[in-house]
Amino acid sequence: MKSRKRSGRRWWSIAIILVGFLICSYPIVSGLYQRSVQSDSLKTYSKALRRNEDQVEGLLKAADTYNDMLFQTQGNYIQGISDKYLTEKAYEKQLRLKDSDVMARIEIPKISVDLPIYHGVSESVLSKGVGHLRSSSLPVGGESTHAALSGHRGLPSSKLFT
């Protein structure tokens, strides 16, 4: 009888220790997984850039035009300009390469950050990387441009701008 009680207690002790270990290791494992997903996205994006080199210059010119139209309208609806350049459909086409859903990347070597930037700021986007706020300038630089990027940790050890 005592042997069964000891065996049962030992099993519960091992189970509790195992559960504790799994809970404690979650931040590390999830961080490694998130970095792997982001790294794969950036590799795919880099390959897409190389495969579509002829398309890149046109995409950058279109992004500059989009930013100019955004600046001219100051966020107000202006028939003709807004209908052609600033619709959801037009936004989704900006900086869109074949074979990649990444629109750009943000690289900050000083703090070892290299993250993909996606269209929009939905929860699904933010779980993959950094999102671009649609009503702000596209992240290509230039005069009178102000790109708003959004990100959150999402996972306990997922590194963004820290």
Burial of 66 by CB count in 10 Å (0-12 exposed, 13-18 middle, 19+ buried)? Answer: buried
State the pLDDT at residue 157.
Answer: 47
Q: Which residue has the higher pLDDT, 94 or 27?
A: 94
Mean pLDDT of 143-153: 86
State the pLDDT at residue 24.
Answer: 93
Mean pLDDT of 116-144: 90
pTM of structure: 0.76
Q: What is the mean pLDDT of the chain?
A: 84
C-alpha to C-alpha distance for 60 and 67, rounded to whole angstroms: 10
Name the region of 142 (left: φ>0; alpha: ψ -120 to 50; beta: rest): left
Give the alpha-carbon dihedral of 126, 127, 129, 132, to 10 degrees. Answer: -20
Mean pLDDT of 109-126: 90
Specify the pairing of strand 113-119 against strand 130-132: parallel
* Model confidence pLDDT, tens digit, residues 41-86: 999 999 998 998 888 999 999 999 889 888 888 766 666 666 666 7
Max CA pair span of the chain:
86
pLDDT of residue 134 exceeding 50: yes
State the pLDDT at residue 156.
Answer: 46
- What φ, ψ does residue 117 adopt, rounded to 5°? -115, 130
* Model confidence pLDDT, tens digit, residues 81-106: 666 667 788 888 899 998 899 999 99
Top-level CATH class of 53-154?
mainly beta
Q: Domain segments of the chain: what residues?
A: 53-154
The pair of structure tokens assigned to 63 is 């992004």
Eight-class DSSP state of 63: H
pLDDT-based confidence at residue 117 (cuts at 50, 70, 90): very high
C-alpha to C-alpha distance for 162 and 155, rounded to whole angstroms: 14
